[in-house]
Amino acid sequence: MSAVVTELATRCLLSLPVICSTDAVPANVEVVSPAELFAPGVVSTEASDVRLTLSPDGRTAAWFTRNRAGGPGEYDIWISSRTPGGWGAASPAPFNSPQRDFDPAFSADGRFIYFCSNRSGGLGGDDLYRVAVLADGFGAVEHLGANVNSAADEWAPMLSPDGHKLLFSSNGRGARRFDLFVSARRPDDSFDTAVPLPGAINTAADEFDATFLADNVTVVFARSPNLQTDRVTLAYSSLRSDGYDAGVVLPSSVNAVGQNTYGPMLDWSDPSRLTLSSQRPEARAGSTDIYTFKYRLTPVRSQKL
């Protein structure tokens, strides 16, 4: 670990007691249902559909697609509303740009959608933004600033269930490849300087696309030795007294054998459920589809901390 990353991790231990608390109870993640294809023909289509987020009331779905006709940019965020007959026809989000817009994530209170974009006005490559969710649509797009964004790329923002921590991945800020970072949310809705997640979770591989689970601390994330060339799988990591452990790969009921699996996100309408993106051969609608599965957390009791 570089001196920069070590210094930032130390700052985390001092400034983010909610993350680094020694009172946290380590948890195992148990998968309790198979991955099921989500909304085929509407959300899971012949395009490459990635990272579904559901509003707290369960009435709005947002995700992004790399190659679906009808959007203004390279990557676009799409939205569908639930109707009595199921999910309604999808349409591009009005806050899309002509560039890349991706990785949407509702906040737990439904007030914002966080997302990534390389639109003009950022600090480098892909930056993190948010947009307010209003009764009649969406507010103005807001850049999250230099405490979160860097001259490199930031991906997959996710505000914790308690609203206190912004989790995301970056290949800037001294990261070896893509690493997982966290930033404390201030009372005025701005964010403190981001720091790496403490412990062994960040490695020489790419760690990205992470979500907190319902306990506010356990993390499910994507890992690949090299995300450009190697298989991507999902793992979970528990918070222990010295930080996050290195992670445990989820079973083949989640990680399709020989295929890429990524883009996990907590379902705000049912926090016992996760959404994910995968290339599963048994129910494939497109090149990458969206699935959901149920999980439960069980305390780790057999290990001395």
Nearest by Cα to 166 from 208, 107, 214 = 107
The average pLDDT across 199-216 equals 97
pLDDT digit string (tens) for 84-118? Answer: 999 999 999 999 999 999 999 999 999 999 999 99
pLDDT digit string (tens) for 143-197? Answer: 999 999 999 999 999 999 999 999 999 999 888 899 999 999 999 999 999 999 9
Phi, psi for 186 (deg, rounded to 5): -85, 165
Name the residue type at position 136.
D
pTM value is: 0.91
pLDDT > 70 in the chain, percent: 90
Radius of gyration, CA atoms only, the chain: 18
The yes-or-no verdict on residue 237 having pLDDT over 70 is yes
User: Going along 17-126, which residue ranges are E strands?
Assistant: 27-31, 36-37, 49-54, 60-65, 76-83, 86-87, 91-92, 101-106, 112-117
Mean pLDDT, the chain, rounded, equals 91
Right CATH number for 3-299 from 3.90.1150.10, 2.120.10.30, 2.40.110.10, 1.10.1840.10? 2.120.10.30
The yes-or-no verdict on residue 283 having pLDDT over 80 is no
Q: How much is the pLDDT for 303?
A: 45
The yes-or-no verdict on residue 1 having pLDDT over 60 is no
Measured CA angle at 162 (ends 156, 166), to 5 deg: 30
Q: How many CB atoms lie within 10 A of CB 91?
A: 12
**Distance between CA atoms of 202 and 197, rounded to whole angstroms?**
7
pLDDT > 90 in the chain, percent: 83
- How buried is 23 (Cβ within 10 angstroms: 0-12 exposed, 13-18 middle, 19+ buried)? exposed
Listed in sequence order, the residues at least 6 apart from 186 whose beta carbon sits closer than 8 Å to its beta carbon are 192
